[in-house]
Amino acid sequence: VAGLGGVGSYAAEALARAGVGDLTLVDHDVVAGSNLNRQLVALESTLGVPKARVMAGRIRDINPGCRLNLIERFLEPDAVSELLSAGFHQVIDAIDSLSSKVELIATALGQGVPIVSSMGAGGRLDPTRVRVGDLMDTSVCPLARAVRGRLRRRGIGRGLTVVWSDEPPLAPLPPEETGRGRPRAVNGTVSYMPALFGLTLAGIVVQRILSQAGDTSRGNQSAPADGLVPLGSDRAPARDPEPDDRTGRVPRGGGCHPGPG
């Protein structure tokens, strides 16, 4: 998961909760007060702490069996090829920096590494307008337009699945210093939109993993798919209560039992 902001933090945690057993988390930034409105890692108690470390702590609390690799540096375009040489099964792009984002996408596509990418969630309010599709079919989104243009100049067309919104974005606020690179316009972001993008990205990845493992049928539950580890596997499965032999009635609460979610 490249980028652990409003989108990437939700994607990473959703993967951990789904039982993904090996995650690499890439982010150079620390939690700031301006992140509190939308980022899963952002709490008063985590201000100033590197996002990758906060995310790692949450994942270890959720899924102790998940193997974590933290990369706490800015993903420069010239470092992308080395990063992807690790041989990832799936890549989630939740990067803000346009140059790094395009390089990650182009390199992954060129190396045949499955990747799914987030377009702009900022400045949107309508959750019903979040879409999944090919980058070349997007419209309205300024970030998607910029990414399309740069990829086309590199001879790259269709083939990239993205999460995007067809809602026209609100006008950004004036540019602010970000601590890295040129000042960027501030896109006001409501709490739930980045979360929706991130959860959707995670859902796409989990479905891909299951599809590759041939385990898309709910009836095939004998073994976890490659890359997924069962959570709480040391517990005996809960059972529905048996009817009373004398009355035939199910005890109070019968027919229901606590389960995941």
Q: What is the CATH number of the domain that holds 202?
A: 3.40.50.720
In a domain, 260, yes or no: no
In a domain, 121, yes or no: yes
Q: What is the pLDDT of residues 213-238, one digit of tens each?
A: 875 455 444 444 556 655 655 433 34
Which of 5, 16, 15, 25 minimizes the C-alpha distance to 62? Answer: 16
**Cα separation values, 141 from 38, 82, 123, 170, Å:** 20, 30, 10, 11
In a domain, 221, yes or no: no
In a domain, 72, yes or no: yes
Q: What is the pLDDT of residues 91-131, one digit of tens each?
A: 999 999 999 999 999 999 999 999 999 999 999 999 999 99
In a domain, 179, yes or no: yes
Domain interval for residue 110: 8-212
* Helical segments of the chain, H only: 8-17, 51-62, 80-84, 98-111, 142-153, 192-212
In a domain, 252, yes or no: no
- Number of domains within the chain: 1
